[in-house]
Structure 1
Amino acid sequence: MELLVHLNKRIKSRPKIQLPVETLLVQYQDPAAVSFVTNFTIIYVKMGYPRLPVEKQCELAPTLLTAMEGKPQPQQDSLMHLLIPTLFHMKYPAESSKSASPFNLAEKPKTVQLLLDFMLDVLLMPYGYVLNESQSRQNSSSSQGSSSNSGGSSGIPQPPPGMSFYAAKRVIGDNPWTPEQLEQCKLGIVKFIEAEQVPELEAVLHLVIASSDTRHSVATAADLELKSKQSLIDWNNPAIINKMYKVYLGDIPLKTKEGAVLKPELKRDPVSTRVKLKIVPHLLRSRQAAETFPANIQVVYDGLFGTNTNSKLRTLSLQFVHHICITRMPHLFTKDIALVQQLFEALCKEEPETRLAIQEALSMMVGAYSTLEGAQRTLMEALVASYLIKPEVQVRQVAVKFASTVFPSDHIPSRYLLLLAAGDPREEVHGEAQRVLRCLPGRNKKESASKQMPSFPEMVYYIQEKIVLYLRMCLAHSAGVVPTSQSLADMQDHAPAIGRYIRTLMSSSQATASSCNKSGETNPVQIYIGLLQQLLAGVGGLPVMYCLLEAVSVYPEKLATKFVDKTEWIKSLMSSSKEEMRELAALFYSVVVSTVSGKELKSMVEQLIKATKDNHMKERAIQTLGYFPVGDGDFPHQKLLLQGLMDSVEAKQIELQFTIGEAITSAAIGTSSVAARDAWLVTEEEYIPPAGAKVNDVVPWVLDVILNKHIISPNPHVRQAACIWLLSLVRKLSTHVEVKSHLKEIQSAFVSVLSENDELSQDVASKGLGLVYDLGSEQDQQELVSTLVDTLRTGKRVKHEVSGETVVFQGGGLGKTPDGQGLSTYKELCSLASDLSQPDLVYKFMNLANHHAMWNSRKGAAFGFNVIATRAGEQLAPFLPQLVPRLYRYQFDPNLGIRQAMTSIWNALVTDKSMLFSSE
């Protein structure tokens, strides 16, 4: 012992004396060594290690870590105090691997945890701090912005924010570091973490703390490393979030056994405001942070009402309140996409000051919609797409935020929208879109799984389809019609104009000269058809099928011949699961086959007959029968055919009666029917029957049979069918002289059906009355109104003769009053019109009341009553002040029929209730 005391005196006074540190470390780790030996050995290791050259210190650094295992806590602290300054000088391999790593810590979890805890304390240590043993904690316990109680710890000095007395004491050690040395130690720790010597997720908190350092070099290095690992860090990992909460709040004394056990010298204070300002933004990234109770509420209260808070921390805390609310109850937002639309609309219209608040609100809401599926997701796609083309830059910016956040990264429609936004003229829009698109999947499997990209073939097909539809819009524009790619019906209306333009292009030598193409295909129409064919073969789609059918059908003699050898491919499209696709493919097949002649044509038709398994054979047969007198002016059985169609009434065959109505209309007018035209080349308005065509018009006879036989039949099914046929005649043959000369009789027929028990019959009759009124001259209209009002007010009904075989009640008709009460609804409509001193408005009301679901079907939609109803609504707009109070009251009428009718009118007229009540 005396020898060792003498050595200590000599060595301490001579700092250049080198000690055998390596041998001492071996002796220190000797399991056979007694505590007397190890205690003195650690003294000489602490004395000798700092005297070694830096290279030798770096070489022995891993041995220091190994020597810690199983040793007393004070000795472990001493060894870590020696190790930390060395980390700044360590050299790490460029590619981290277990074999090349100087510290092999993978199998030493306890040592890793000891080291990480010590490193955290070093990073929390402020520069120039001196531990004053005489200073009492009691004097400044409230200065940390915490509700912690310092009672019972008056004899312990005040540690730095975020640390305990014990943590501060062990970091200071026997030889406190100067501020410059402490800075180097902190940089060494960041460098150690950057070299991936410890698990990345274990060191996240260390980087966050280091990024708040008061020295620029430390803060910058940590910030850069944190940003580089941002995509790898799982901010919903409970371990990471709990550590951040613990550091932020410190050790809050709880009324539990655990809280009572904690010794005063081990109790940690909350961190400084500077560190809190770095922690909260990361809590805002985490769903788990919002769910961690009660720590989340404690952070909010500390940030808003704590003693040492400031305006920045209050703002972040308020954002954290929003984050907690959205994360805890996202369904309040998710189920209401209309709220997003309202805010987007407000963002378009409000003043600039208000827009900023709306923009922030939308940005905070966006996460709540990331779980949308099915129709809700499709609706959100359409919403984002519509606002991505708005003139206001803030609107486009938020739309990009929604496109990148709401949908998964492999969602094709949203990636397409981001591609469009990537070409935006404003940097804040295209920059964000490009950043999202170029955010590549990671190298490791876990990272790649969270960041998928769209499938290459699917993305190509999707973009190609968009290109093709845009080309169709350009084609329509060049042809002089309004471009559209939304409705096939609207697109088909433009076919004749497009046909004329395509014929001009095909026959124009200028087009060939001006659009030379390297592939040898010089005509733009041929290139367009080639694109359509490729896309249809690859991915299909109704709009693409229609565009190909349209392009070929408008000039079949030039364009259909190239598809003759592709009939098998076309037939495969005819077996699609979608009815609309099958119909378009069948039309395309018929256009191609029509260019073939002779035996080949006969063979194709025979094959088609063999393969035919149409479920709608009855409808097809009726349509074909209706076309016989149209295509053949000398067809000898025209009246027999019509009589057969009118005798084919079956119960509950509503759609079939609409088809029969079309067939009767075509067969009645014969060769003068617009069905005789080529729909691809001539519009209905432009069609004129050929000069030499034989006239076989039997409309007078058909009208007579319907009005005097079928519409007054005792069988309710026949009356309903006759009403549908009559509606078809009036709609399709509105300019025919026989229709115009029998308006009163036709109106009487429709009025007689108004009192039927069947809702569809009533609705068909009311629609027919509206058409009849619009067809009449001014004098006719006055007479028609007078007759209708008189009939409705008196309640006169047509009497049907009843025999023993007559069906009195239709299926489901029992329980309804068959005594004329069906007219009560129309009496009220008549009364409403009379009160406005405009009796003729009853026709407008009829167009708006009882809009049956049938009119939304394909057959019903062909009549165009949606357009008529819209026009009726516009004509009634001037009477809104008088109508609104009465319509509102009618919605509570005890009569169900009246209530439904008036509600229909209310919904049609009162589209914006907020504007209505503010103006009325």
Structure 2
Amino acid sequence: MSTAMEELMLLERVFLRIGNADTDEKLESCVSKFLLPVLLKLGSPHEDVRKKVIELLAHINKRVKTRPQIQLPVENLLLQYKDPSSSAFITNFSVIYIKIGFPRLPSSKQAELIPSIFSSIKNKPQEHKDSLLVLAMTALDGIKWSHDLKKQESFFDLKDNPTVVKEFSQVLLDTLLMPYGLQPVPPAPPGLSVSSYNRMIQELPTNYQTAEEMEKLKLGVLKFISSDVLRDDETFSHLVVASADTRAVVASAADAQLRKIIGTLDWNSSTLFQPLYAIYLGSKEGPDDKHKTPASIRQRLKFLPLMSKAKTQGLIFPACVRVFFDSLYGENTHARLTTQALVFCSVIIQQANVNQLSIVANVILTSGLMKLISESEVDASGIRQQAYMVAGQLVSKVPSLVKNDLSLLQSLFHVLSQEQSNDVRMSVRDALVTMVSAFNLDTNEQNDLLNLLATQVECNSPSARLVAVRYLSIIYPSDHATSRYYLLLASGDNQEEISTEALKALYGSGYRLSGGNLSSMLQFPNFVDMMSVILERAAIREQNFKLNASVGNYLLPFNVFIYNQVLTYLSICLAQSSGVTVSLQRLQHPCESSHQIGQFLRQLIMKDNELVNKYLKFILKMLQAKPDIIPMSSLLETVGCVSDVLAPSLVQKLDWLKNHLSDSREEMRELVAQFFGCVVGFGDDNLHSQWLSILLQALGSNSKDLELIHGTILAVANIIERSIAKHGLHSEELIKISLLKIVPYLDHSQGMLVGAACNALAVVCRVLSLPFTDSRIGDLNNPGKMDIVEKLLEIINSSKVTSKIKERACKAAGMLCLSENFPYRQYFMDKFIDLGKEIKDVEIQLSVGEALVCCILGPTSPETLDPWTSEKSVISIHYDPESPCANLLTNILTKMLYIPHPHSKQACCIWLLAVLKHCGHLMG
């Protein structure tokens, strides 16, 4: 070991050499040669030696600092600094000279030394790391970037140095947050603390502290982070910060790189967003000089749209809630930022865990969204509009916000009624619709909500009415009577959208279709429940002049449209309660389901006769105020299905209804005629004779009122049919007189009356063999059966009547054959075979097929069943349908099958299908 004297002598010689260096070149040579050995002497155990070293270093510092062109042995200094055997004195002075010498190096040389800096800082003091990493950052602009990614990665060798990557990334981020030009602190610039800002100022070489050099420095940082040396998720926050830079060239470069990597990022990663949250919110942790200033408005406007891309785990709780509130009510806020904050809140609602969100949901709603709405300026409709939408999403995600408290719902409905801005109204409406899924209520809560919705169904605001309809249709089951009542009210709304929505809720989405069964999932309320609700509400409305409707001299609880909808809906409820499969069209009685409805009504009358009577009065009230098809159909359905019970109480209505036998609508006349049949037919002989006489008098009065004649013909026929169905054959003479009045109309010039006569014959012949002679008389005023047969065939083959009349003639022909002793059954079948090639219309061919089936089956046909009760009306003792069936099949297969005419072949197929369908049991 050298003695202290020897070491001092060596230091004196070095001092002398350096002192005698009278040029920069000589001084640089001496410093390069002796600086490292001198620094090593700091590790000497002798105090005098160390003092001499300090004296010498002070002289070197004084000489070098005034000569910026003198280069120091930076590379060797780094090696010495990296040497683990070096003492703290040596490393401390090495850093000082590295900091002096590094900025003097050419930029290319600085860039070469960056890997050496990265490798030298392992396990070194933080102050040293900060100094060296800042130097490395200043050298980034001098790197000559290669297109070979592997070469770049091997140059920096950062893969196995995660600590270095983290620390260098922080330095880069702080650099990008630095302002242009010095500023007094506190406060620190946005995103930085006083400590980090001062550190950057102290560590940056003075030539980098101008605005232009700072811009250049930031561009160098951007080149580095855009070089793929670091992973995309490691550079994301840096690029976002740089994209908010006040210098366009820096912001543009960052935006360009952001667009490249945006598709590769994992938005589920919380580590991706943590730096942005830290900058956005700032921090108050630690000493005052460590407190970070929150991001500026400019930065926040850049940050928040990208933070809004977070998915599930990428959303950091509860920091995200702080971001939302700070954006709305913090110091650094702005109208645009408020809009973005609402978007971010929507993301929180969509992506957050329900349990987490539930904790803060009420605060977000009341102190965030609703407060924002109440404090927003009148002209800030866009913000209010967006806030309402987000509120709807929040309630939908956290139903407990409104489930036990309807005040929010009430306030939103109030806004719908009072808000002037159409856009805001639409947003509130959409918000309310979004919230509907939150209401899965028990009975008491359903009633509270129902009371609220009831006030909205008929309010002045179309938007409120539409939302109320949506709530009624979604929250309450389809068999909930009270909610269906309010939907019926809404079905008559003057806004088509609201009316359509209500009708869809009542009948299903296919309600516009003309037929087919309703969805099997759609259940209707029990008829008794529905009827009770309607009667109760109707009584209240009749007493309220604001709610009732005046039609002529009558005061109705509903307007005509709604009244008709109520009656239609009640008819469907009645059918379903009776066990009938309901369809999109109400039942046309009598039909195969009439007897089921009759059975239900009989049971109901036994239990609650008063309710059925009230239902009849309810129907009659509408029918008297506005005679129409729907109330007439409801009346016929109710009375016809249980005529024996209800008909006597309605006899007094016949005089009034008689006027409607001349209604301008054919369907109305037919319904009234059927009603006459049900009421008169089930009366006593006197009533039967009285009304037949009255009606026959109208037929014999040479009236030119075609509608009256049409309705009267049908009424007479229905009275005869119902009377025979109930009492059997009686008043034969009166019946014959009636038929003699009807039959001549088969030859009338008006097709409507021809059709009425055909209908009348079909109705009567279902239960009665015509009381005429079998032969041909040649006079329809006193006809034989053959006259009627030939006339019907003439009508079917005529080119002067409509297809509808021909179909009715076919029906009449078939019904004639139901009588066991009808003599022209085979004649009809033969004539139909002959007419096969003449009939072009498929509908008529189908009607002929049904007539042929009646010809075959005769009194064994299902047509002989009472259409109201499904009971047998015609009793057959000796009739055997096998022979007529065999004859018809032989004629079709031997005569028609080989006729080449296309109409004949079409008829052949249709008729064979009809026979197979209805007479298959005869072909064993």
TM over 0.5: no
TM-score, normalising length: structure 2 = 0.37
TM-score w.r.t. the length of structure 1 is: 0.37
